[in-house]
Amino acid sequence: MSGHIAKLSHQVFFWLKNPDSAEDLEQLLIGIRSLSAIETVRGMHVGVPAATEQRPVIDNSYSASELLFFDSIEDQNAYQTHPLHEQFIADYSHLWSKVMVFDSISRATENEFGL
């Protein structure tokens, strides 16, 4: 870890139209990974629901997720209008039935992370 803390996280959850299609899921994951080429993206985690213990607070009904990190709201705004992001939507939106986004800005200091 470099000691740099990205200030904004952008968490996106996707529900596939065909949730049982391994091919659709793989296509979507390839598309999501392509977004890491956008210059303002500081970090990325791409995943699928974990097989964790079932609890009332867990929603694992989604098919795939991405967690992106940005240095600022301006960087995240630039990502939203970047040609690669717009191409991702054009190429892959036919695969999903629902998308939910959760953006958050860090209130932590570097000292809180022990850096």
Average pLDDT of 99-110?
87
- Asked if 69 and 41 touch (Cβ cutoff 8 Å), the reply is yes
Q: Locate 92 and state its tokens.
A: 């892959």
| Percent of residues in the chain assigned helix, strand, coil, to nearest 5 | 35, 25, 35
pLDDT of 5-60, one tens digit each?
Answer: 679 999 999 999 999 999 999 999 999 999 999 999 999 999 999 999 999 999 99
Q: Show Cβ contacts of residue 1 under 8 Å, excluding neighbours closer than 6 positions.
A: 115
Take residue 111 and report the two structure tokens written for it: 């000292």
Q: What's the whole-number average pLDDT of the chain?
A: 92
Say if pTM beats, i.e. exceeds, 0.85: yes
